[in-house]
């Protein structure tokens, strides 16, 4: 009876751990905030948030490397850098495009 209980508890803990997106919520919440700042055209805030997005990427890079392939996480890093450059240039079209690209790549990485 004890073995069955232990196995059940282990399975339950493993399955409950599968529902969490490893670091994904940080990215998606930050992207939402960036979209709101972009709607308000607050370029200083947009630039700061884009740079903070890169910091989130750097701190979660090892998780992204485990979840995605090399092309995805390198493309994500490149897209974040393009987003920062567009924000510094105050180019709303390129910033929206860069943000959509980042969101799309993250969606692919965290789709499992």
Reported as a single tens digit per residue, the pLDDT across 70-96 is 999 999 999 999 999 999 999 999 999
Q: Domain containing 39: what range?
A: 22-109
State the pLDDT confidence band at 13, using cuts at 50, 70 and 90.
low
Nearest to 47 by CA among 102, 89, 96, 94: 89
Q: How many domains does the chain have?
A: 1
* 15 part of a folded domain: no
pTM: 0.77
Q: Residue range 13-34: average pLDDT? A: 72
Domain CATH number, residue 76: 1.20.120.290
């Amino acid at each position: 009876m004890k073995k069955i209980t232990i196995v059940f508890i282990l399975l339950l803990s493993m399955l409950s751990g599968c529902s969490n997106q490893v670091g994904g919520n940080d990215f998606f919440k930050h992207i939402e905030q960036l979209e709101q700042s972009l709607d308000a055209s607050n370029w200083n805030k947009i630039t700061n948030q884009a740079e903070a997005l890169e910091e989130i990427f750097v701190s979660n890079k090892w998780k992204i490397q485990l979840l995605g392939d090399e092309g995805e996480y390198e493309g994500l890093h490149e897209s974040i850098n393009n987003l920062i450059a567009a924000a510094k240039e105050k180019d709303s079209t390129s910033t929206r495009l860069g943000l959509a690209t980042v969101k799309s790549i993250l969606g692919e990485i965290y789709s499992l």
